[in-house]
Structure 1
């Protein structure tokens, strides 16, 4: 009897497992991922009950637990968790003694990837300041806009970046901005120095009443994100959002024994919150690179025994496009974690560099919505199954490209798409998934919200991203709405580029957009222009003007000269046909030009040049 029961139970279990494998092949992957997330949530709640509430609290706790563990390795220098804790205490003490900053003030940081970026960040945070990370590629107009939008009254600038401020230094000072330079002395009038004062500063923690932070929903950071409005937007990052980022590397499978290589700029959320924050959560060591170098990458990995590295899609493509050399698989890297990896590059990366587990993910600076591909499937950004939706609620809805808004039913509600269709990703705004908005711009903040989506009174965050969920619940990124396109791992706002080009004396009208280029992630910048009467396109003048005012990733790679620009009846520029025709001489009858960086000018784009670009002989 017992044997019969055991046999029947075994047969039943085998049948269930067979059905599960046929119809829910990723059930166990999803369940394990869900359980990991639940464990992380329990750890967060337990820590908070013991007073460890913020990212900074987590760092200070690790500095006490593992004081002598290597934390930051940079250009031959090694800083332990205790070293960085004391260094950041010194930074806080300097500003406290000078009386220039207090709890609640907003301070901006303009620094390259270096250990003192972190000590300044943490030092300012220990004073209870809200910190704004500035993109060191931005030029004068955008930089001034950043200060106006976030309300920063203090700027800490790295020694290697002070010269980039020369044209706006006086304006900043006249606007009441206190400027501090990470140097012992300065030749710039009115600029304060920090390093000389650090030598004599105490490394004791600042008093608790100065920095105590209890509201986890308050602003921790301002991280600037580019959008369709043209100029950078200051996204408010709450302490809750920062703490939620801590588990990134842990969810990817990294441990405290790993050595993690971060080459992305720290002003990005990916490098600062996911990268540095992820290392802190694990108590792992971080090899911090000032700037990514494809040619030095694997040598660095071997030199520092790197086991995990963080990427964006472009980074992996650069590695794949490097000339093959002996010993490319001679490394200890076991995990590559990041976002934006194209499926074809993904496969080439695997084939060329060995058994490295690629963990592709998707996330946003402004909201707590994300996906992670924790399976072995190549291509998708993550899973959208039942378990994932329990943690990060989301929906995909139909979108009208002509009206640039979600499709609404006769009852006025958004329409969900079916599996296999492409739709707009949206996420409910709740107490645990808040949208704090953009500093200094309520109108732009409101534009990111969708109201009365599925029922009266509900509010959803509009990601602006098109996704497709297949029948196995894998999610694939398709495109972005609006005028923003992505190139070299950066978002480029077409209106900002158009504003800069619009002041050139020989251009009458400009229309900036992105075009696909075979073999490259994202879209390269292209501009359709109308020349002023009696003027010609001055390629050298165009190049120098762009170099002066915009970072290189924003420069249009192609120029199309037209007699007039297509506009709608409300005088909005039309881009659809331009994007479709791209930069092909066979599809475009007007004159085309290509950016020749070696000659610092734009040259005529003919069929031979086009073929060389498309075939990969010429890399952009």
Structure 2
């Protein structure tokens, strides 16, 4: 049975006409606040007022199985619609030890500006602080311009980040006193190597612990050594606690490569592959609320032996000779062009190394008359800068192979983000590269001119007719 909670009169007014159909679908509607309410809803305030303050006996609230569902947390929805991931009692309790694992203690003051309806903010942030008895400073909305003032005012020593928050900080104009703070530790996920180095060079020797994990996933990685760009480091001992494998992935087929016996093939050292983790009693995958198909899509079977089962993270990673694991891309983001796989993160890092660019997100678009997907980048310029088409061409020529260089550029005032500060690429990819459909200025890579040049209706038609090669 599904359940929905209405909190305001405006929200409830929009739900009220749907009550008959919701009842037919077995969806219970709970309402929080003063009434009156129509029949068929559950008034939570009345139940709360009537509830005893005495703790119920343990056999009432203690779960029969620690792997039973404790709560639901929605995924970010960066590549599709959000899904309600089941989180077990055991996983929730394990989050009590998160900050202790990364080197925080009860003496620390943790700065948290992440949404509390996602795992990073709620379980790792709030529950993690409870686990060590630390002070938590909650910021309703992250402000890069106020961040260091907040840190000094509140005595902040630990910052829980999402990678883009750190980028916002390094993109701020330099101000006096940026190194006059007590911040000693930053922990989170999604921090790109260029931002990592810039953050430490500008703001001082803050220890950074990059982590990897998913609300619904059964594998966790920690980069304890402070190596920029790595999400963790593998070892035989670590795999005893959090086992995983990296297998070859066929981007064109959208599935792992398999040998003649139908088994997956482990990726070689330095080779990008799909990160997967065995589903066992000790490392379960509880799936998602809703239809069984939602959960089945994340499972791989017969990976190395008949009857085995693995969770498909949907992430492409690479493991180097020193066993560092580096995130490369989401499988839905990586695309093929000119017969080659293009990792959007690699292209974005090359773009952001250019002095005029402040933000970039890279994705693939279909182009009439061409196979595969061409690279396209939505860009935000630094204040007071303009785009130098020939200069950017020369910059990318030095950093990227020909097939990886974006064919189209889209100049924007800002980039859309999810509530967890992840880039939204789905709408951008759907918009494509037709100047008649995209309101922002577009540019196209002109190999003959060795530059990015404006893409207007006339040049677009020549491209469609095959008179311009990309």
TM-score, scaled relative to structure 2: 0.71
Structure 2 residue aligned with 1:96? none
SS of match in other structure, 1:175: helix
State the partner residue of 2:154: 304
2:237 match? 387
Corresponding residue for residue 22 of structure 2: 175
User: What is the distance in 2 between the residues matched to 1:423 and 1:356?
Assistant: 31
Distance in 1 (CA, whole Å) between partners of 2:360 and 2:240 is 31
Match of 1:338 among 165, 174, 188: 188
Match of 1:523 in 2: 361
The residue correspondences of 1:245-264 to structure 2 (distance < 5 A) are 245-264=95-114
State how 1:205-354 maps to structure 2 within 5 Å: 205-206=55-56, 208=58, 210-226=60-76, 230-354=80-204
Q: Is the 8 A contact 2:363 2:376 kept in 1?
A: no
Specify whether residues 334 and 193 from structure 1 end up closer, same or farther in structure 2 by C-alpha distance, changes over 3 A only: farther
Q: Give matches, 1:45-84, under 5 Å.
A: none
CA distance in 1, matches of 2:159, 2:129: 11
- Find the aligned partners of 1:218 and 1:589 in 2 and give their Cα distance: 49
Q: RMSD between aligned alpha carbons? A: 3.7
- Quote the Cα distance in structure 2 between the aligned partners of 1:362 and 1:276: 18
Equivalent residue, structure 1, for 2:218: 368
Q: Given the alignment of the two structures, is residue 605 of structure 1 paired with residue 401 of structure 2, yes or no?
A: no
Distance 2:364 2:2 in 1: 34
Residue 385 of structure 1, CA deviation? 1.8
1:412 aligned residue: 262
Contact 2:276 2:313 (C-alpha < 8 Å) held by counterparts: yes
1:214 offset after TM fit, Å? 3.1
Residue of structure 2 in register with 1:577 after alignment:
373
Contact 1:228 1:483 in 2 (8 A): no
2:447 matched residue in structure 1: none
Question: Does the 8 A contact of 2:314 with 2:331 survive in 1?
Answer: yes
Aligned to 1:356: 206
**How big is the shift at 1:342?**
0.6
The alpha-carbon deviation at position 437 of structure 1 amounts to 1.2
Matched residue, 1:425? 275
Contact 2:79/2:332 (<8 A) preserved: no
Distance in 2 (CA, whole Å) between partners of 1:588 and 1:374 is 34
* CA distance 1:243–1:226, shift in 2 (3 Å): same
Shift of 1:335: 0.6
The CA deviation at 1:297 is 1.3
Q: In structure 1, the residue corresponding to 2:180 is in which secondary structure?
A: coil
1:16-95 aligned within 5 A = none
- Mapped to 2, the partners of 1:317 and 1:249 lie a distance apart of 23
Q: Does the aligned pair in 2 maintain the 1:305–1:332 contact within 8 Å?
A: yes
3-state SS in 2 of match to 1:153: strand
Q: Does 1:437 align with 2:287?
A: yes
8 Å contact kept, 1:594–1:602: no
Does the Cα contact within 8 Å between 2:245 and 2:276 map onto a contact in 1? yes
Q: Deviations over 1:83-137 (max 9, x none)?
A: xxxxxxxxxxxxxxxxxxxxxxxxxxxxxxxxxxxxxxxxxxxxxxxxxxxxxxx
Pair 582,353 (structure 1): closer, same or farther in 2 beyond 3 Å: closer
Query: Closer, same or farther in 2 for the Cα pair 1:156/1:275, shift >3 Å?
Result: farther
From 321, 325, 334, give the equivalent of 1:471. Answer: 321
Summarize the Cα distance change of 1:327–1:202 in structure 2 as closer, same or farther, 3 Å threshold: farther
Moved over 6 A (4+): 186-201, 525-528, 583-590, 610-613
TM-superposed CA distance for 1:332, in Å, is 1.1
| Residue aligning to 1:144 | none
Q: Which residue of 2 aligns with 1:114?
A: none
Structure 2: distance between partners of 1:279 and 1:251: 12
Q: Whose Rg is larger?
A: 1
Deviation at 1:481, TM superposition (A): 0.8
Q: CA deviation at 1:523?
A: 3.0
SS of the residue aligned with 2:326?
Answer: strand
Task: Quote the offset at 1:593 in angstroms.
Answer: 6.5
Cα contact 2:376–2:410 (8 A) shared by 1: no
- Higher helix proportion (structure 1 or 2): 1
How far did 1:170 drift? Answer: 3.4
Aligned in 2, Cα 1:371/1:152: closer, same or farther, shift over 3 Å? same
Q: Distance in 2 between matches of 1:198 and 1:451?
A: 45
Partner Cα distance (2:3, 2:302) in 1: 39
Cα gap change, 1:392/1:604 in structure 2, threshold over 3 Å: closer, same or farther? closer
Which residue number corresponds to residue 112 of structure 1? none
Query: Does the aligned pair in 1 maintain the 2:360–2:378 contact within 8 Å?
Result: no
Structure 2 Cα separation of the partners of residues 257 and 418 of structure 1: 44
- Work out the CA distance in 2 between the residues paired with 1:355 and 1:383: 22
Q: How far is 1:484 from its partner?
A: 9.3
> In structure 2, do the counterparts of structure 1 residues 286 and 433 end up closer, same or farther at CA, with 3 Å as the change threshold?
same
Alpha-carbon distance in structure 2 between the residues aligned to 1:388 and 1:294: 36
Aligned residues: 384
Q: Decide whether aligned partners of structure 1 residues 448 and 263 sit closer, same or farther in structure 2, where only a CA change above 3 A counts.
A: same
